[in-house]
Structure 1
């Protein structure tokens, strides 16, 4: 089931990539809804997808910030 959410997220991001404000909105939703390993895959896919779309690259920090969470101390 989770794979379907990841694939759906990618398709939504592709469809709204023409509008940076919608792209950011959907990217923030993805960060909230996806599991950590899915975020890693999404980050890799976004790096590939935005290679030809430099206007969207500045918004990738929304995913990178979530992945860079500090480890909890014990």
Structure 2
């Protein structure tokens, strides 16, 4: 079930990546829902999105320990 949540989160983040504010809100929600080991995978995924859309960089603050 948890893996399904991670895949769902990635799908949502891809869809909202056009708006940095909305993207940040979704990342904040994901941090509350996902397991600790999934958060590292999420960080890698977000870094790949940042390569395409640099304004999403501010979302990384939600992934700080």
TM-score by length of structure 2 reads 0.92
Larger Rg: 1
- Between the aligned partners of 2:22 and 2:48, the Cα distance in structure 1 is 19
State the structure with bigger RCO (CA 8 A, min sep 6), 1 or 2: 2
Deviation at 1:58, TM superposition (A): 2.0
Runs of 5+ in structure 1 lacking a partner? Answer: 69-74
Native 8 Å contact 2:31 2:62 kept in 1: yes
**What is the CA RMSD across the aligned residues, in angstroms?**
0.9
Runs of 5+ in structure 2 lacking a partner? Answer: none
- The structure in which a higher percent of residues are helix is 2
Equivalence for 2:48:
48
- Between the aligned partners of 2:10 and 2:50, the Cα distance in structure 1 is 12
